[in-house]
C-alpha cells in the first residue's frame, strides 16, 4: 500500500509517478518530455501471457495490445440481458456498473503501432468465438434439445461512427410495422467498435444537429438509445458497446474542442499514448498453437464471466480502495487534464472487475485494484505527455506551417517586390491576429538562411518610411 501511496502523493503534486520502474524504486521522469512506459503489473494473468506472446517478436505496443484484449473481452461478456441473464455487474450505490471500457489510443502516424496492436486481438477473439460456438453446439447435441439455442457471436464494427441514429438502428429493438407486424431487431446488444479514424468522429460531432456525441455518452452509461426523429422511432434498449478509437496526438489536440471536454464525451475514454518501443525488421507471425492456447483460456474466462452475476470487493480490497479513491478524487492538473481524468475512479473499479473475471473470480482483490491503478496512472501520464509535451510540438508545427503561408504571400503580393503588414493582413482577409503575423515574419527573418528581408522604404503619399517585407529566394 505504501508503494501506491507514494505514487499518488506525486500525482496530487502534479508530478506523475513513473510507470517505467517498480514503485519501490521510485524515480520521477519529466512526462512533459518522456512518454509513459507500461509497467508489467498492468498485465496480470492471461492478459500478460497474451501481451508477452504478441509483443516479443513484433513491434506491437503492450499497452495497446492490452487495451484491445480488455475491450473485446468486456464486449463479449456482456451485461445482464435476455440472452445473458447472469452477465456480470457491479453495484456502486444505487447505480449498476458494467464492464464496457472506451479506449482512445494516441500516437504518431505509422510509429504508434495502433493498427499493429489491434490485429492479434482480432485474431485471438475470432478463435474464441469459434471455440465458444463449438462448445455451444456440443451442449445442444448432448442435451437433445428440440429447439436449439442460438449462439450469438460478438458483433463487431470496423469504424465509421457518423450518426447516433446509425448506432441506434444497428442495436434496435423489435418494432411494430404499420400493418401491425413485428419487424425483428437486434436481439444481441453486444457490440465492439474499432474506429481507426476517430478524428473523423470528432469532426462529425461539431456538425449542427449531429447526435453522435450524445449517443456515445449514452452508450458508455449503458442508457437506452431513442433518437427523436419524425420518420423513425428506433429504440435500442440496454446496449453494451465497447470502443477502441485510434487518433494521432496532433489530431487529438487539434480536433478536441473545449466543448468535447466540457460535455463529458472525451472523459469517457481512457487515453493511452502508444509509441513503438523497438524495431523488428521481420516480425514473426504468432504460431497457431499459441493462438489456440490463449484463445482457450480466454474462452473459459468468457464463459465464466457471462455467468458470474454480481461482483463484490473482498474486505481487504474495500479497505485498500477507500484511501485510494480519496486520492484519485483529489488529483488535480491543468484544466483540460483534470476534466479528461474525471472518470478515473469508476474506470479503476471497472478494470479491477475485468481483471478478476479474466482470472475467473467473482471477488475483486487487492491485486486487481493495484493492476487497475497502474492503468489509471498510465492514462494520466499519457494526458500529461500529450497536452504538455506533444502540444508544444503541435504548436511549433502549426506556427511553421503558417510561416510558410506568409512567405508564399510575400512572394505573391506586388509580384514579390515588397509588401507591408497591412497588405499581408488583407491577403489573409484579416483572419489572423497581429501577434501571429509578427511571429511568422520573425521566424522567416531568423531562419537560416533567412527567407524574408525587412526594409524601410518611402512610399508615395507617406511622410515617413514604411516597413516592407521582401522575399529572399535562395
Q: Are residues 279 and 422 in the same domain?
A: no
Does the pLDDT at position 104 exceed 50? yes
Structural domain includes residue 69: yes
Maximum mean pLDDT: which of 198-207, 255-264, 367-376:
367-376
Average pLDDT over residues 37-41: 91
287 and 422, same structural domain? no
Give the integer Cα–Cα distance in Å for 229 and 215: 14
Q: For residue 409, tell me if it sits in a domain.
A: no
What SS3 class is residue 209? coil
Per the structure block, which three cell numbers stand in for 270? 481512457
- Phi, psi for residue 13 in degrees, rounded to 5: -85, 10
Residue 240: CB atoms within 10 Å:
26
Question: So what's the pLDDT on residue 412?
Answer: 93
Band the pLDDT of 356: cuts 50, 70, 90. very high
Which pLDDT band holds residue 394 (cuts at 50, 70, 90)? low
State pLDDT tens for residues 19-33: 333 333 334 455 566
**pLDDT of amino acid 113:** 53
Q: What is the rounded end-to-end Cα distance, in angstroms, of the chain?
A: 63
Full residue range of the structural domain in which residue 463 is found = 417-471
- Mean pLDDT, range 40-59, rounded to an integer: 92
| pLDDT band at 59; cut points 50, 70, 90 | confident
Q: Indicate the burial class of 340 (C-beta count within 10 angstroms; 0-12, 13-18, 19 or more).
A: buried
- Supply the pTM of this predicted model: 0.77
% of the chain with per-residue pLDDT over 90: 46
150 plus 115 within the same structural domain: yes
Note whether residue 456 is domain-resident: yes
Which uninterrupted H or E stretch holds 178? Answer: none
- Say which residue, 182 or 291, is predicted with more confidence: 291
CB 402 within 8 A of CB 436: yes
Average pLDDT over residues 317-328: 93
Rounded to whole angstroms, how far apart are CA atoms 329 and 41? 22
329 — pLDDT class (breaks 50, 70, 90) = confident
Q: Is residue 82 part of a domain?
A: yes
Among 106-120, 175-189, 392-406, 420-434, the minimum mean pLDDT is found in 106-120
Residues 114, 196 within the same domain: yes
Q: Which residues of 306-339 are buried (b: 16+ CB within 10 A; e: fewer)?
A: bebeebebbeebeebbeebeebbeebebeebbeb
The CATH number of the domain holding residue 359 is 3.40.50
Rounded average pLDDT over 327-353? 85
Q: What is the pLDDT of residue 392?
A: 61
pLDDT band at 107 (very low <50, low <70, confident <90, very high): confident
Domain end marker among 326, 359, 392: 392
Same domain flag for 207 and 289: yes
Q: What percent of the chain lies above the pLDDT cut of 70?
A: 84
| The Cα angle at residue 58 between residues 384 and 251, in degrees rounded to 5 | 35
Q: Identify whether residues 421 and 387 lie together within a single domain.
A: no
Statement to judge: residues 139 and 264 lie in one domain:
yes
Asked whether residue 400 is domain-assigned, the answer is no
H or E stretch at 49: helix 45-55
Residue 408 lies in a domain: no
If asked whether residues 380 and 421 sit together in one domain, one would say no
Q: Which residue has the higher pLDDT, 460 or 84?
A: 84
Is the separation of the CB atoms in 232 and 63 below 8 Å? Answer: no
Instruction: Supply the pLDDT for residue 395.
Output: 62
Domain contains 20: yes
Q: Is the pLDDT of residue 303 over 80?
A: yes
Name the more confident of 241 and 227.
Answer: 241
Whole-number Å distance between alpha carbons of 123 and 392: 38
Between 327 and 108, name the one with better pLDDT. Answer: 327
Question: Could you tell me if 441 and 303 lie in one domain?
Answer: no
Write the pLDDT tens digit of every residue in 243-278: 999 998 888 887 776 667 667 889 999 999 998 877
How many Cβ atoms are within 10 Å of 206's Cβ, its own excluded?
Answer: 12
Who wins on pLDDT, 151 or 368?
Answer: 368
Residue 398 lies in a domain: no
- Give the pLDDT confidence of 446-471 residue by residue, as tens digits: 888 899 999 988 877 777 888 899 99
Considering the chain, what is the average pLDDT of its residues?
84
| DSSP-assigned letter for residue 110 | T
Q: Which residues contact 398 (CB under 8 A, 6 or more apart)?
A: none
If one counts the domains in the chain, the total is: 2
Residue 376 sits in the same domain as residue 427: no
**For the segment 144-180, what is each residue's pLDDT rounded down to a tens digit?**
655 557 788 999 998 778 788 888 889 999 988 777 7
Mark whether 368 and 430 lie in a shared domain: no
Do 291 and 356 share a domain, yes or no? Answer: yes
pLDDT at 10: 43
Residue 445 has pLDDT above 70, yes or no: yes
| 344 CB-contact burial (10 Å; exposed 0-12 / middle 13-18 / buried 19+) | buried
Amino acid at each position: 500500500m505504501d508503494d501506491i501511496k507514494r505514487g499518488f502523493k506525486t500525482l496530487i503534486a502534479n508530478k506523475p509517478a513513473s510507470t517505467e520502474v517498480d514503485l519501490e524504486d521510485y524515480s520521477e521522469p519529466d512526462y512533459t518530455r518522456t512518454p509513459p512506459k507500461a509497467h508489467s503489473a498492468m498485465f496480470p494473468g492471461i492478459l500478460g501471457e497474451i501481451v508477452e506472446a504478441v509483443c516479443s517478436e513484433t513491434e506491437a505496443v503492450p499497452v495497446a495490445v492490452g487495451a484491445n484484449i480488455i475491450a473485446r473481452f468486456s464486449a463479449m461478456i456482456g451485461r445482464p440481458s435476455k440472452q445473458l441473464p447472469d452477465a456480470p455487474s457491479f453495484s456502486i450505490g444505487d447505480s449498476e456498473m458494467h464492464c464496457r471500457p472506451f479506449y482512445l489510443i494516441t500516437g504518431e502516424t505509422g510509429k504508434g503501432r495502433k493498427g499493429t496492436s489491434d490485429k492479434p486481438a482480432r485474431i485471438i477473439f475470432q478463435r474464441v468465438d469459434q471455440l465458444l460456438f463449438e462448445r455451444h453446439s456440443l451442449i445442444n447435441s448432448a442435451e437433445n434439445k428440440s429447439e436449439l439455442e442460438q449462439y450469438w457471436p460478438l458483433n463487431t464494427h470496423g469504424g465509421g461512427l457518423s450518426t447516433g441514429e446509425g448506432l441506434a438502428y444497428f442495436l434496435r429493438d423489435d418494432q411494430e410495422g404499420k400493418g401491425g407486424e413485428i419487424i425483428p431487431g437486434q436481439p444481441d446488444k453486444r457490440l465492439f467498435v474499432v474506429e481507426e479514424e476517430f478524428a473523423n468522429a470528432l469532426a462529425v460531432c461539431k456538425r449542427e444537429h449531429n447526435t453522435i456525441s450524445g449517443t456515445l455518452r449514452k452508450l458508455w452509461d449503458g442508457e437506452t438509445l431513442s433518437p427523436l426523429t419524425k420518420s423513425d422511432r428506433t429504440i435500442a434498449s440496454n446496449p453494451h458497446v465497447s470502443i477502441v478509437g485510434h487518433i494521432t496526438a496532433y489530431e487529438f489536440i487539434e480536433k478536441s474542442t473545449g466543448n468535447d471536454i466540457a460535455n463529458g464525451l472525451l472523459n469517457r475514454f481512457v487515453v493511452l499514448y502508444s509509441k513503438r518501443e523497438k524495431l523488428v525488421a521481420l516480425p514473426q507471425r504468432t504460431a497457431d498453437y499459441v493462438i489456440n492456447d490463449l484463445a482457450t483460456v480466454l474462452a473459459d474466462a468468457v464463459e465464466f464471466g457471462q455467468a458470474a452475476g454480481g461482483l463484490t470487493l473482498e474486505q481487504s480490497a474495500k479497505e485498500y480502495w477507500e484511501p485510494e479513491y480519496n486520492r484519485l478524487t483529489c488529483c488535480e492538473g491543468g484544466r483540460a487534464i483534470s476534466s479528461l481524468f474525471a472518470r478515473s475512479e469508476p474506470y479503476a473499479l471497472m478494470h479491477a472487475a475485468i481483471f478478476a473475471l479474466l482470472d475467473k473470480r467473482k471477488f475483486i482483490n487487492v491485486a486487481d485494484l493495484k493492476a487497475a491503478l497502474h492503468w489509471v496512472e498510465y492514462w494520466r501520464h499519457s494526458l500529461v505527455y500529450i497536452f504538455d509535451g506533444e502540444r508544444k510540438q503541435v504548436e511549433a508545427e502549426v506556427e511553421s506551417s503558417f510561416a510558410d503561408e506568409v512567405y508564399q504571400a510575400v512572394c505573391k503580393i506586388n509580384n514579390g517586390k515588397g509588401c507591408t503588414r497591412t497588405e499581408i493582413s488583407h491577403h489573409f482577409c484579416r483572419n489572423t491576429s497581429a501577434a501571429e503575423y509578427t511571429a511568422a515574419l520573425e521566424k522567416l527573418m531568423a531562419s537560416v538562411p533567412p527567407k524574408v528581408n525587412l526594409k524601410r522604404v518611402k512610399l508615395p503619399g507617406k511622410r515617413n518610411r514604411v516597413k516592407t517585407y521582401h522575399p529572399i529566394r535562395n
